Structure 1
Amino acid sequence: MRKLIAFDEDSFDKLKQLGRDRMATFQELADEAFADLLKKHGIPIDLRDALRKSAKLDRETSKATAHPKTRKAKSR
């Protein structure tokens, strides 16, 4: 899917230079930037991330609801 976005000239020049320095395309820079933004806000990037996050939530939920084992005091 293609979307049109606008940059000011200075920012675009810096992004082009960064791409040259890293030998990366503008698309690769954009993919990395958007992946970082999604990660920052806790939104899974792909299926693997979604499954990992789901498993982590399940573990945290099961730990929070687990009841500690208690021993009954011996009566004399």
Structure 2
Amino acid sequence: MRKLIAFDEDTFDKLKQLGRDRMATFQELADEAFADLLKKHGIPIDLRDALRRSARLDGVTGKTTPRSKTRKAKAR
């Protein structure tokens, strides 16, 4: 999906130079920037990240349900 984003001249020039210095495309810089923004706000970036966060939260909150060891006595 394509979206149009506007930058002022100075910011765009600095981004172009950063891309040259790092040998990265503008798209790679944008992907990194948006991934960092999502991470900052605690939003999973992809499915793997979402599953990792979910497993970490389950371990911290103790959402696992222990199995009951008591059994009902059989009626004769």
- Confirm or deny a common fold (TM above 0.5): yes
**How far off its partner does 1:38 sit?**
0.2
Q: List gaps (5 residues or longer) in structure 1.
A: 64-76
Q: Give the percent of matched residue pairs that are identical in Structure 1 and Structure 2.
A: 90
Determine the structure 1 residue equivalent to 2:34: 34
Distance of 2:47 and 2:37 partners within structure 1: 17
Deviation track 1:20-40 (CA, whole Å, cap 9, x = no partner) reads 000000000000000000000
What amino acid maps onto 1:46 in structure 2?
Answer: D
Please state if 1:2 is matched with 2:2: yes
What does 1:33-72 align with in structure 2 at a 5 Å threshold?
Answer: 33-62=33-62
Runs of 4+ in 1 over 6 A off after TM superposition: none
Count of equivalent residues: 63
Output the CA distance in 1 between the equivalents of 2:11 and 2:5: 13
TM-score with structure 1 setting the length: 0.81
Provide TM-score, normalisation by structure 2: 0.81
Partner of residue 17, structure 2: 17
Q: Amino acid of the residue matched to residue 7 of structure 2?
A: F
Which ranges in structure 2 are unaligned for 5 or more consecutive residues?
64-76
CA offset digits 1:9-67 (Å, max 9, x no partner): 0000000000000000000000000000000000000000000000011001118xxxx
Q: 1:74 maps to which residue? A: none
Q: CA RMSD in A?
A: 1.0
Considering fraction of residues, name the structure with more helix: 1
